[in-house]
Amino acid sequence: MIPTKTAALDFLAQQRIAVAGVSRSSGGEHGGNIVYQRLRERGYDVFAVNPHAEEVEGDPCYPSVGAIPDGVDAVVIATKPSDADQVMQDCVDAGITRAWMHRSVGAGSVSATAAALGRENGITVIDGGCPLMYGPASDFGHRIMGTVLRIAGTVPKKV
């Protein structure tokens, strides 16, 4: 196991990142859309994944991680926990080696079975927190939230 911060910075060092579970309606309320928007603003090649949408945030949307042309290096999972297993299986099938299950309060997108599936297949799985709490994607509010959530135990110390 490695420290979460180390895994987070490695994740964010990737240029091509998919966000699975973005909402069809943009309004800035859904965590997946907030992550998608911020990564796009920070210069990442970011790809929306939602099997029920053709376009999200004005960009093309893909039905699965495997449908993204030329693949991606990492995936943020921002789905319901019950859908995270399928997204993780898609990551396994696509040869993805980094996955982040988004979580602030409550269960977020974290699924113990999805995390186990990913780890059993060589994926570095961050099962909690948000990419916007770390490194080049972060902002002051998310860094404060990250500190509070680490104290509360919803962000793992090691992954």
* Separation in Å, CA 140 to CA 76, 77, 131: 21, 23, 13
Mean pLDDT of 91-119: 93
- d(C-alpha 39, C-alpha 16), whole Å: 10
Mean pLDDT of 134-146: 92
- pLDDT tens readout for residues 55-89: 998 899 999 999 999 999 999 999 999 999 999 99
Contact yes or no for 104/130 (Cβ under 8 A): yes
What is the homologous superfamily of the domain 4-152 according to CATH?
Answer: NAD(P)-binding Rossmann-like Domain (3.40.50.720)
Q: Using 50, 70 and 90 to split pLDDT, how confident is the model at 27? A: low
- d(C-alpha 68, C-alpha 119), whole Å: 22
Identity (one letter) of the amino acid at 124? T
pLDDT for residue 31 is more than 60: yes
Supply the pLDDT for residue 135: 93
Contact yes or no for 85/117 (Cβ under 8 A): yes
Q: Using alpha carbons, select from 90, 20, 5, 14 the residue that is nearest to residue 50.
A: 20
Contact yes or no for 154/4 (Cβ under 8 A): no
Q: Domain coordinates of the chain in residue numbers?
A: 4-152
Supply the pLDDT for residue 152: 86
DSSP string computed for 6-56 = HHHHHHHT-SEEEEET--SS-SS-SHHHHHHHHHHHTT-EEEEE-TT-SEE
Q: Using 50, 70 and 90 to split pLDDT, how confident is the model at 28? A: low
Share of the chain above pLDDT 70, in %: 96
